[in-house]
Amino acid sequence: MREKLITQTEIPEEQIIDNIIANMQTGRKDEYYPKALVYDLEYGQKRLAVYYEKDIQNVETYLDNIKDGSEKKENETSLLYKAAKKLIQQFADDAQQKIGYTLFTKFEKMRDWATSYNKGRLIFDWDIELKHANFRGGENFYEFHAIICPRKIKRS
């Protein structure tokens, strides 16, 4: 049986992305990223943790499913990553420095999303794509890198 998706056709995509950012949670500590500022973005049944290491201008993310009874929504993954890209762009603009973003995954479905021209590749325009074969116990592991450049700030 297929799950019924809630469609968001009546709400403009940019508004959904702005709402995701407006409702993000901050301040959580993560033992694996002790120096990172953590931003949790949620939409539908997914949560995207954004780990920003300001001292080295680097961002990594972790996508997870929410098991709290939330309703599945259309394009959850892409909308969360578009919100993350907007957030990373803000980091770059505020610092007026390039920010490195890395996506790591062992999941084929996520790799397919990242390399799709109308999904992950459209959002991040990857600079580097790597495949690590037989990584830690024989699994394939995929790594994608993008550089987010600051927009020029208009000075008066």
* Portion of the chain with pLDDT greater than 90, in percent: 72
pTM for the whole thing? 0.88
In this prediction, residue 10 has a pLDDT band, given cuts at 50, 70 and 90, of: confident
Taking the domain 13-148, which CATH number applies?
Answer: 3.40.630
User: Are the beta carbons of 150 and 98 closer than 8 angstroms?
Assistant: yes
Could you tell me the pLDDT band of residue 138, with boundaries at 50, 70 and 90? confident
User: Are residues 120 and 144 in contact, defined by beta-carbon separation less than 8 angstroms?
Assistant: yes
The structure tokens 């450049």 sit at: 149
If pLDDT is split at 50, 70 and 90, which confidence band does 156 have? low
Phi-psi category of 14—alpha, beta or left, where left has phi over 0 and alpha has psi -120 to 50? alpha
Report the pLDDT averaged over residues 27-43. Answer: 92
For the chain, the domains span: 13-148
User: What is the structure's pLDDT at 99?
Assistant: 97
